[in-house]
Chain A
């Protein structure tokens, strides 16, 4: 004795958001029923588990049928099979394309290929996200990538237009596509402390300043590719470290500007040449795709870590980079003809970006003091004194970081919970 067939079809398609979320998370019908039962959906209804199961099955089936349409959200709006109110359609799309930060962090910058897809079970066991859900998220990345790959014009706008995603999701997907396209390395241990949102911020900066579309608005070209010419031009910066005179001049200019403005002035002065070399080398190497991939790891290794070991705080780094760029500018106008100006402007753009990016990274590192705000200082003091447990941040510090450093992170996370980008 068994129910062989059991369907329910409404003229307006009935969809329960909670069940949709369970389906998206990759639950089986049985597990979903359990979760719903525990959630108390049956409270106050005179219904059995059987009823719940039947309802869950129905909805899962509906979602499965809708999935084909969700792959092409534009279709959902003018398909005839399901009568779904527009606000519900928007909800369906947004939820379908939403992803877990933990998951995206694992695949960010990886090639969206079959090989990566095969490794998803590892990702699944690592992140605790069900494999089915991982596959959906991965396929979403791939699908979006494919859709915008050949399109011209601004990336975010393209994603929003063609996949009908919300602004926030479109921005995130732009970052994912951008990272996947350049295969930026994000998986190294040293980069683990950064969240997806940090990288998304960087991607946004890079897209708006480094890409072909950014360089020339007239040229209706793609946002996805970095501007080769610009990268080539960056090589010119090498003069800042190869020319001994220039290097010294630069240093003295920066030091004059910074003197008495920061507590770590001595360290700054001492490491100026090293840092400058590090930065300029990174910039000069960007014509190599391999080095582009390593951009973030290089930045951390060559610039951020030295700063960190000197116990700089964000405000210091910000100050340092601002003056570093400004001084270079003065240096330039001093030395070169006007012909160079435009080129240098571009270079400074790059440096400004690097400034933004690094500052962003530093914020995450905990090298923060929230500008000169006394309030923040105060918080730091209290946080340090009251021995609170280490904050729960998904990208935790490695063990090598000192205890005092942790306290600082503590402060940082409080001041800017989960949002490195805002601080910049």
Chain B
């Protein structure tokens, strides 16, 4: 009996009227955990009941503690008929199971009903007493921490990064059980919510076990997803990166420093650990598998590139060869299990971890769900994903990389067809530190001061004589010592030390393709055949738009392909930047196929002019000022006819011979678009003329925007959803594209307009998700955060200077942050370093271990802060039942002379980023992973579909905030809305929506806040809350 769960029901407020006669409610509460249920007394005739119950105690296995949610049901007592349910609260008690996370859950929770939404609030107290269980065969994994954040959490350091963990559980979907025919929609929804809650608990526990097995204590970059497969079941799957984390005694690096460091191009990187050189190129491959048998062809497109020119790999190449060699040696030494994947779900890394980035690797496969032999078992799905991961692994290997970073998986399901997608960035990681044991040795492996600053990761990792695809390489523009590709595509965040010219911007490629309606295998084949073209065109678009912006690298690339009954929709989003290390991108040339027609020629040249103007404008806009005037590219004449034979095509009709398509072109700057007819002109036109972001706005889908340092504390997270109906039955691909393009553009425009009061501001982590919920519907959902910044130049300069010094400090602390990487690399690594120059060991043995005494003082002070924090927490725990301190003074002062009865609700910030500008995250309280269903049978009365969804999203936010506040937190970081499935039936006046959100609950303190106002002071007290 290793755990005792205690719950106390304190009070309720704002309950709905359940008895029409008296306009009151006789409420009582059922508290259920596992199979045990307790009840409170009935509190008669009140909408604000004070139950003040005893402590309900559940003695349970810790396995159950992990799997089960605490279920609180508020009911209205009825003497004669059955008691009516008012609503429920599910509380995930996982955060209480780790000693470092929350200690108590206490606060007001919205009472949620799947039909009526939020109906009042209930004040609950939950505690857990855990007994240590040293049983080696235990099935629980209490204490393993989970983080959604895809970087090492701010107040931790990684001792070891163990690697990839994944798990998948399957169950029958309650919505498809026979019993669903006879039960109410409410019962069905609740069964589903409860099941998913159980399944995610189980999933976390299982992943936790794997982590413990690997010797880790945390999962970072935890990504959990649901697949609603329909008849064949409900799948909950998760991936993450197992780590051993250690809490920093310093109480966490300050965020400001972190992100300023992130965003400022490092000028003085002497202190930074050396990053090895590597090359890059973007590669893309998309294997497509048919359902039952391998229906389809596997295919690979490789992306553009520079011809290798001059500059031998002599001495400098030797430099990277050093670690690579070590890596190889280590790999053979530690030959880890083959079944493991060297994947990392992280997107940003401590300095020195990431050596080379090669490019995007992705794999997709099409499966038929009705062909699963044993739908209730996870084996089939496991095998599917396994297949896909192998594919990814081999792609990475082909790129000369032993690891994949920024790895993620997703699915798109339509009827019985399911597209599984996996993507990541092939990379070479720093393997000098391999195992736990050599930590001591580690510190000796200091980096070489002469390491090239901020360009290392761009250098190609593969050998130029043995390139996996035709590529164009050129010497690195920063260090001139090694090769870089002309374009770099990645799924990760911009590395902290990357040298960037100007600012970045969001780049999106959007595409719709019609497809015939069909069933089963035919449908799967059809989709499989379409997929390669879709991806190819998305890439072409991305590349075109990137060039149009005058940039040369994409970060945070995320390609989504959604399948509907009669169309495929592809949306690729990424943040374009100009990497100083990469060569300047060439212009875009337009070439007409029918040069005889004079008017046509004029037309072409006018487009050409427009494009050239746009490039100039964009460079201006994004402040890309390149000193070396190597490119007089813009407006350069159309290349000679001979070269025109190798044109870059932008139309799918021309891609039949795709497999042998040569994408490289002889002349560096001759990036040519060919247009064959007027249709194509329009197409091109619409593609290349996205509206620029309005003045004062920037946007990106990564964590930070290069070139912006001075964030204010004003942040606004938002979710926006749009559903578009295509009424026109016979649409062409072109028309469809135009509509989809407009939809996305208008959505962005709306966002800019809405947030105009925050100017100057940047929309960060713009996360678009597309879906095709029905035949003629396209749904686009966006979640992002708008953060405003100071425009003030002088301040910027100050800040930059400050950032500079901070960066030094960081670099110092970073020395202690070095951690070994446990590589599960296969012995047969393809990256045999052929450039066998003289091995320069000094790279890795440059410096003696240095102890940083100066940071001791810091640590002491932050230790004190921690103590204070703990004291607060303890006080909070005990205070609950007695009277509490008043809400914080700040909000009070704003309230002018009025007295608000009851206390105001504590403010909870939400952001999809891993940090909060100007604040310091002092504690991670646990993962928030919530799943809600909302249904209505009175759609019109609730304001139509928009009213319904608006209310639901607001409710979801409210519930997330309430849970965070109850854990004692004041913010959610790395927040994301993973799923938003919306179904409607306006004829029946019905709609249903499922939303899944996740994030990390944290406590942050403002840097200016000396006292560290803690959120618990603002916990409302039930007794204070007298109803009017």
> Which residues of A are interface residues toward B (Cβ below 8 A)?
1-12, 14, 45-48, 50-52, 54-55, 57-58, 61-62, 64-65, 72, 74-75, 77-83, 85-87, 90, 147, 160-162, 164, 166-167
Contact = CB atoms under 8 A, between A and B. Distances in A.
Interface in B716-772: 716-728, 739, 746, 749-756
A8 B717 CA distance: 11
Contacts of A52: 753
Contacts of B726: 1
6 contacts: A5-B721, A46-B691, A47-B749, A51-B746, A51-B749, A83-B958
B950 A86 contact: no
A43 B694 CA distance: 12
Contact of B752 (A12, A45, A75): A45
Contacts of B720: 7-9
Nearest to A50: B746
A75 B739 CA distance: 43
A123 B951 CA distance: 34
A7 B902 contact: no
A409 B954 CA distance: 55
Contacts of A62: 950
Nearest to B782: A8
B646 interface: no
A46 B693 CA distance: 9
Contact of B121 (A8, A50, A80, A162): A80
Contact of B1025 (A11, A51, A78): A78
A4 B950 contact: no
Contacts of B20: none
A6 B749 CA distance: 13
A58 B753 CA distance: 12
B718 A11 contact: yes
Contacts of B943: 61, 64
What's the dominant secondary structure at chain B's contact region?
A: mixed
Closest 6 A/B residue pairs (Cβ): A5-B723, A77-B900, A10-B718, A9-B953, A11-B717, A7-B950
Interface in B403-437: none
Most interface-central of A78, A79, A80, A86 (chain B CB within 10 A): A80
A167 B110 CA distance: 33
Nearest to B721: A7
A9 B950 contact: yes
Contacts of B118: 80-81
Contact of B717 (A10, A51, A77, A166): A10
Contacts of A5: 721-723, 779, 945-946, 949, 982
A64 B950 CA distance: 11
B639 interface: no
A161 B902 CA distance: 12
Contact of B719 (A9, A14, A51): A9
A45 B945 contact: no
Nearest to B722: A6
A162 B752 CA distance: 39
Contacts of B727: 1-2
Contacts of B954: 9, 65, 81-82
B894 A85 contact: yes
Given A61-B950, A86-B900, 17 more contacts: A2-B724, A5-B723, A6-B721, A6-B723, A7-B953, A9-B718, A9-B954, A45-B753, A48-B746, A61-B947, A64-B943, A74-B1028, A78-B1020, A81-B954, A81-B955, A164-B898, A167-B897
A82 B13 CA distance: 16
Interface in B920-961: 943, 945-947, 949-951, 953-955, 957-958, 961
A4 B945 contact: yes
A80 B716 contact: no
Contact of A4 (B749, B777, B896, B902): B777
Contacts of A65: 950-951, 954
> What interface size band does chain B fall in?
35 or more
Interface stretch (B311-319, B676-684, B868-876, B903-911): B903-911
Contact of A7 (B751, B908, B946): B946
B725 A1 contact: yes
Contacts of A90: 895-896, 898
B909 A4 contact: no
B739 to A, nearest CB: 6
B89 to A, nearest CB: 12
A161 to B, nearest CB: 7
A80 B110 contact: yes
B899 interface: yes
A199 B718 CA distance: 47
B108 interface: yes
Nearest to A82: B954
A9 B957 contact: yes
B995 to A, nearest CB: 11
Contacts of A74: 900-902, 1027-1028
Given A55-B750, A147-B1028, A160-B898, A4 B716 contact: no
A87 B894 contact: yes
B962 interface: yes
Nearest to A8: B720
A314 B650 CA distance: 88
Nearest to A12: B716
A1 B895 contact: no
Contact of A6 (B717, B903, B946): B946
B754 A14 contact: yes
A143 to B, nearest CB: 12
Contacts of A83: 905, 907-908, 957-958, 961
A19 B725 CA distance: 28
Given A1-B726, A74-B900, A86-B904, A11 B909 contact: yes
B891 A1 contact: no
B14 interface: yes
Contact of A3 (B121, B722, B982): B722
Given A4-B725, A11-B718, A45-B694, A80 B950 contact: no
A65 B117 CA distance: 13
Contacts of A45: 694, 752-753, 756
A80 B899 CA distance: 19
Interface in B11-46: 13-14
A47 B697 CA distance: 14
A79 B905 CA distance: 7
Nearest to A76: B900
Contacts of B951: 65
Contacts of B901: 74, 77, 161
Nearest to B724: A3
Contacts of A47: 694, 749-750, 752-753
Given A4-B945, A74-B901, A74-B902, A79 B14 contact: yes
A47 B694 CA distance: 9
A77 B726 CA distance: 43
A79 B951 CA distance: 14
Contacts of B1028: 72, 74, 147, 162
Interface in B477-530: none
Given A11-B718, A45-B752, A61-B946, A1 B108 contact: no
B544 to A, nearest CB: 22
**Interface core residue of A14, A54, A164, A166 (most chain B CB under 10 Å):** A54
A43 B310 CA distance: 54
A287 to B, nearest CB: 35
Nearest to B959: A80
Nearest to B945: A5
Most buried by A among B13, B756, B899, B957: B957
B566 to A, nearest CB: 15
A51 B754 CA distance: 9
Nearest to B965: A80
A57 B691 CA distance: 23
Interface string B96-128: 000000000000101000000010010000000
Given A5-B982, A80-B961, A86 B895 contact: yes
A233 B539 CA distance: 94
A101 B1020 CA distance: 39
